[in-house]
Amino acid sequence: MKFSYKLTAVAAALLACTPAYASEPEPELIQASYDKGYFVFGTDSESFALKFDGRIMLDAGTVSSDKNAFVENNEIRRARFAIKTKFSNKWAGEFDIDFAENDPSIKDMWISYTGLENFEFKVGNHKPFFSIAELTTSRWATFMETSMITDATAPGRRLGLSGSYQHEDFFVGMSLFGDKIATDNRDPEGDGSEPGVHEEYNYSLRAIYRPYANEDVTRFFHFGVNYLNLKPQSDDDSKMRLRVGLESSVFDYEPLNTGKVKDVSEQVSQGIEFAGRYDKFMVQAEYIKNTFNRIEADDQDIDTDGFYVETSYMIFGSGRNYNLSDGEFGPIYPEHDNGNLEVALRYSTIDLNDGEVLGGSSDNITLALNWYAHTNVVVRLNHTIASLDENADGDGDYIGNDDISITGLRIQYMF
């Protein structure tokens, strides 16, 4: 009897020490679907979803210059393939590679958590919160390229952490991030002659407010502010510069170039934005001011700025969609057998001249015609006229005071 009690006690002790395992979830049937231009695989319970995002963009065109021997650049602008996943409707991730120019590069590579209502937290390689034009996906941008001031200022994808809060009336997003992922801060000079440099951390903010939006968001407008604090990359030795082309990949030159400005402690960028839609019309505008704050008090801070205003009208079709969750324009789904047709106009300007820095200025006008032949097929035609000042010489590589005309054609296939 005593033996029986002892055996029972030992068995109970062993059972108490044994880890408890939850019952394994039942297998769920995965179904395939074609949803809003994507191939999607997922379960009815939304416990799992997988989506493919591929995009091929083929660009060609012509370039005409009054003073320089510029030639056109016909290229594969993008050849991207991404895998996007979601688990338990809380966790999501993206694996995105661009194969353009036969040089694979990481684009979006992140993990996000959306388990708290209206909040999203993201860590990995992604775009920090700054500028509606920069954050809008290339799938649905109105023009072939973003404006000069946006392209010159925005930090591009960085490895970091972002958090956002979404509301039907407003949106707030903040980012903390470091260098671009290709930066080698262990060997700044690339020859082993200098010791490694600690990586600096940067931050950004975007906040928007929507005073009005109707129920189906075909009529709305929003105001926004953007802020960016950017340090010199760890391999740049307190130097920073702004440089940019003329809003077309067909024109593969950067005549607007401040050169590397020495003794810079940080770049502070402040911006305001506006976006709105009224049925078939849309409008979007931004102003951005950049300041290079210098290390030495005797050195002059450098101020540069620029803005753009763009508008479009959907000749055939109902208009551009808008995402309330992140305050960006979204996809266009053709409503006619022959597709949707959109005409757009943009005026943009940039001034990179201040004090000792003569990076040049330019005024651009771009006319665009976009044919949305299918949810997955878009043909874009852009014509840009650029008027540059005498300092827009690519930091001495070209002749300034030039007038340039660029025509670009893009065939865009998405899958």
- Residues 6 or more apart whose CB falls under 8 angstroms from that of 357 comprise 258, 259, 261, 292, 302, 304
Residue 376 lies in a domain: yes
Query: What CATH number is associated with residue 269?
Result: 2.40.160.10
Residue 95 has pLDDT above 50, yes or no: yes
Residue bearing tokens 């591009």: 156
pLDDT-derived band at 23 (thresholds 50, 70, 90) equals low
The tokens describing 252, both together, are 């593969």
Query: Higher-confidence residue: 380 or 21?
Result: 380
Q: What is the pLDDT of residue 192?
A: 62
Residue 22 lies in a domain: no
Residue 18 lies in a domain: no
Q: What is the pLDDT of residue 194?
A: 63
**What is the pLDDT averaged over residues 361-366?**
99
Residue 90 has pLDDT above 90, yes or no: yes
Residue 140 lies in a domain: yes
pLDDT digits (tens, 9 = 90+) for 260-275: 999 999 999 999 999 9
Residue 254 lies in a domain: yes
Q: What is the pLDDT of residue 7?
A: 37
Mean residue pLDDT of the chain comes to: 92
Q: What is the pLDDT of residue 4?
A: 41
Q: What is the pLDDT of residue 44?
A: 87
Q: How far apart are CA 406 and CA 399, in angstroms?
A: 17
**What is the pLDDT averaged over residues 32-37?**
86
Closest by Cα among 201, 146, 147 to 176: 201
Ranking 28-42, 322-336, 387-401 by mean pLDDT, the lowest is 28-42
Q: How far apart are CA 34 and CA 38, in angstroms?
A: 6
Residue 335 has pLDDT above 60, yes or no: yes
Q: How far apart are CA 289 and CA 303, in angstroms?
A: 7
189 exposure class (CB count in 10 Å sphere: 0-12, 13-18, 19+): exposed
List, in sequence order, every residue forming a beta bridge with 122; answer none if it has no partner. Answer: 112, 162
* DSSP β-ladder status, 170-177 and 158-166: antiparallel
- Neighbouring C-beta atoms of residue 334, cutoff 10 Å: 19
pLDDT digits (tens, 9 = 90+) for 192-233: 656 667 788 999 999 999 999 999 999 999 999 999 999 998
Cα separations (Å) of 75 from 61, 144, 305, 306, 385? 10, 13, 30, 28, 21
Cβ(414)–Cβ(65) below 8 Å: no
Closest by Cα among 84, 78, 180 to 138: 78
Cβ(237)–Cβ(194) below 8 Å: no
Per-residue three-class SS string for the chain: CHHHHHHHHHHHHHHHHCCCCCCCCCCCCCEEEEECCEEEEECCCCCEEEEEEEEEEEEEEEEEECCCCCCCCCEEEEEEEEEEEEECCCEEEEEEEECHHHCCEEEEEEEEECCCCCEEEEEEEECCCCCHHHHCCCCCCCCCCCCHHHHHHCCCCEEEEEEEEECCCEEEEEEEECCCCCCCCCCCCCCCCCCCCCCCCEEEEEEEEEEEECCCCCEEEEEEEEEEEECCCCCCCCCECCEECCCCCCCCCCCEECCCECCEEEEEEEEEEEEEEECCEEEEEEEEEEEEEECCCCCCCEEEEEEEEEEEEEEECCCCCEECCCCEECCCCCCCCCCEEEEEEEEEEEEEEECCEEEEEEEEEEEEEEEEEECCEEEEEEEEEEEECCCCCCCCCCCCCCEEEEEEEEEEEEC
Q: How far apart are CA 209 and CA 303, in angstroms?
A: 28
Q: What is the pLDDT of residue 182?
A: 79
Residue 323 lies in a domain: yes
Ranking 31-35, 261-265, 388-392 by mean pLDDT, the lowest is 31-35
**What is the pLDDT averaged over residues 182-188?**
70
Residue 112 has pLDDT above 50, yes or no: yes
pLDDT-derived band at 28 (thresholds 50, 70, 90) equals confident
Cα separations (Å) of 227 from 98, 178, 233, 410? 28, 16, 18, 32
Number of domains in the chain: 1
Side-chain-side CA neighbours of residue 256 (13 Å): 30
Residue bearing tokens 């388990």: 115
Q: What is the pLDDT of residue 187?
A: 65
Residue 148 has pLDDT above 70, yes or no: yes
For residue 66, give its domain range: 30-414
Q: What is the pLDDT of residue 231?
A: 95
| Percent residues over pLDDT 70 in the chain | 92
Residue 58 lies in a domain: yes
Residue 12 lies in a domain: no
